[in-house]
Structure 1
Amino acid sequence: MSKRQHQKQLEKARAKRRADALQRKQQRSRIMILVVVVLLIVGLVGAGLVLGGDEPPAPEIEDVESPPGEDEAAAPAVDPCPPADDAPEVDSRIYDGPPAADLDETADLTATVATTCGDITIELDVDGAPGAVANIVGLAEDGYYDGVLFHRVIDDFVIQAGDPAGTGCGQEECTAAGFDPEGETYPGYTIPDEESAAAEFAEGPTGGVEYPRGTVAMARTEAPDSTGAQFFIVQGDPITLPDASYIVVGTVADGMDVVDQIAGQPTEEGDRPVDEVRIVSFTVEQA
């Protein structure tokens, strides 16, 4: 081999080493960028899940996840609800504990939720969830729900009410974490978790629990024993929630057309109806 040929081979080898080194450097850079992105995403998700503080009462912000792929800007093809101008004024109250309910646990309980869109009749399941039903009946008999806004409506999912502030976090203003742990949160107390009909619901196709259309259940946070006053009505057929921890208090017996109409109203940020939909009265009959 001539000296010139040997020199060419050396130059070729050095060029290959430089190329290999550059390729390894680029790979390391890509890996570092990927790690940083993953850490940022984990940090943001973690920040969204932190409720902050452990002092009761827990806020009733939603861990009921909305169905994926919803177009919030899409205007549903339903009739608008009448104006809520005639709804009673909200009598916001903070309680020390659940208001007493005049409840006959052997009776059949029927609740009528009169809304600005129409009436919804609910058969309450006192046998399946006596604690939660007594709680919602006590609040209803005390007029707590009168005038309260349906603050969260999602077509093919749920409609939700029960927060006098109308924010969903139980306070007049919500923070990034959902609520101010130092502030008062409606209704001022929470009730213990209890097993309900949800324990018998079918498993979802990809996990979780399927809540049938027409199910009425109490909202809660991810914290234990965090049920308060907020409730939701399942409008989807069915919907899948993470587990069976949402206490089922009843089933819609009549008025699902009203539920559909409310769920189909145009919404703005936070799934809040553009035009207010409110509860006019919440009455309970025992037979």
Structure 2
Amino acid sequence: MARIKPQTLLQQSKRKKGPTRISVTTIIICNLIVVLVVLSLVATYRHWSRRSMNVADSVSQNFEDSEAFSDAKKYDLPGFAILNTSKGYITVELFKEGSPEIVDKFLDFCQKGHFNNMHFQHVIKHFVIHGGDSQGFGAPEDWTQKGKPHGHLSPKHEAFMLGTSKSKEDKKGFDIFITTAPIQDLSDKLTVFGRVVRGEDVVQEIEEVDTDEHYKPKSSILIKNVTLKRVV
């Protein structure tokens, strides 16, 4: 038997132990599979990310829409009323949030022309001016017998506040009171639903007119008409 040379054995051993070659086609296919997997993962992530954002936006939009719907009436209502008096214009801001029911009633009367040519029936200097019928005023003594201001007054007790008589809240009429001084003891008589923002000088001019012993102006002073505005 012929002997194999050591050099030949070494070469055969190297050929057996050498790494197996991978074809180019196999490498390309593997790379394509990896790319496809990565693209699939990215697409899936983007899909669920967008879906989550759309759901969040939808919930937010529904919440905003519900709020807008619930507050639509409040924001659509006029926020100001301009009283055109025989002495000039008085602009009042209406407390739509603080006194919504009274403001609604006031606006309804404005639209019906209730205040057109309404006379100021009573004027009490350093106290109030009153427009409307005498039944909402009561006895003059009830308005003039007031104590001196003491302690802290709330904003609703300040001068130039717009109110209406509580005695007529459940009736068909509607009268107007504008305070001309800080008053603290009218909470049982008036419901405040606004404040004068322009025309304080007109209020003061009305306050200075001559009156009789029943606080009725000797010369006619009236509200010619009322104009409603959302902004001024």
TM-score (norm 2): 0.57
What secondary structure sits across from 2:113 in the alignment? coil
1:239 counterpart SS class: coil
Tell me which of 77, 85, 97 is aligned to 1:127: 97
**One-letter amino acid of the counterpart of residue 253, structure 1:** V
Amino acid paired to 1:264:
E
What does residue 38 of structure 1 align with?
A: none
The gaps in structure 1 that reach 5 residues or longer are 1-102, 176-202
SS of equivalent residue, structure 1 residue 169: helix
Question: Secondary structure of 1:127's partner?
Answer: coil
Higher helix fraction (1 or 2): 2
Per the alignment, residue 234 of structure 1 pairs with 179
Helix, strand or coil: the match of 2:102?
A: helix
- Aligned partner of 2:203 in structure 1 is 259
Q: Deviations over 1:48-100 (max 9, x none)?
A: xxxxxxxxxxxxxxxxxxxxxxxxxxxxxxxxxxxxxxxxxxxxxxxxxxxxx
One-letter amino acid matched to 2:178 = I
Give the SS at the match of 1:271.
coil
Matches within 5 A, 1:48-127: 104-107=73-76, 109-127=79-97
What are the equivalent positions in structure 2 for 1:40-51 lying under 5 Å apart? none
Task: Determine if contact 1:219/1:228 at 8 Å carries over to the other structure.
Answer: no
The separation in 1 between residues aligned to 2:230 and 2:169, in whole angstroms, is 31
Q: Identify which range, 203-212 or 128-137, moves more after superposition.
A: 203-212
Equivalent residue number for residue 116 of structure 2: 146
SS of residue matched to 1:251 = strand
Residue number among 149, 169, 178 corresponding to 2:135 in the alignment: 169
Instruction: Choose which of 216, 239, 242 in structure 1 pairs with 2:162.
Output: 216
Distance 1:208 1:266, change over 3 A: same
Q: How many matched pairs?
A: 149
Partners of 1:158 and 1:235 within 8 A in 2 = yes
In the alignment, the residues of structure 2 paired with residue 224 and residue 249 of structure 1 have an alpha-carbon distance, to the nearest angstrom, of 12
Distance 2:94 2:118 in 1: 20
Shift in Å, 1:285: 1.3
**DSSP 3-state at the match of 1:143:** coil
Equivalent AA in structure 2 for residue 243 of structure 1: S
Instruction: Find the aligned partners of 1:119 and 1:131 in 2 and give their Cα distance.
Output: 25
1:283 deviates by 1.6
Runs of 4+ in 1 over 2 A off after TM superposition: 206-210, 223-228, 242-246
The structural deviation recorded for 1:284 is 1.0
Q: Structure 1, residues 140-192: CA drift from partner, whole Å, max 9, x if none?
A: 111110001000111111101133xxxx116xxx99xxxxxxxxxxxxxxxxx
Tell me what 1:282 maps to: 226
Q: Any unmatched runs of 5+ in structure 2?
A: 1-71, 140-147
In the alignment, the residues of structure 1 paired with residue 201 and residue 214 of structure 2 have an alpha-carbon distance, to the nearest angstrom, of 23
Please say if residues 74 and 96 of structure 2, whose CA atoms lie closer than 8 Å, have aligned partners that are also in contact: yes
Alpha-carbon offset, residue 123 of structure 1: 0.5
Counterparts of 2:122 and 2:108, CA distance in 1: 23
Amino acid at match of 2:131: A
Question: 1:235, 1:252 → 2: CA distance?
Answer: 10
In the TM superposition, what are the counterparts of 1:175-190 in structure 2 within 5 Å? none
Deviation at 1:270, TM superposition (A): 1.6
Q: Which amino acid aligns with 1:234?
A: T
- Distance in 1 of aligned mates of 2:184 and 2:172: 19
In the aligned structure 2, how far is the partner of 1:243 from the partner of 1:159? 16
Distance in 2 separating the partners of 1:141 and 1:224: 18
In structure 2, do the counterparts of structure 1 residues 242 and 213 end up closer, same or farther at CA, with 3 Å as the change threshold? Answer: closer
Does the CA-based 8 Å contact 2:160-2:180 persist in structure 1? yes
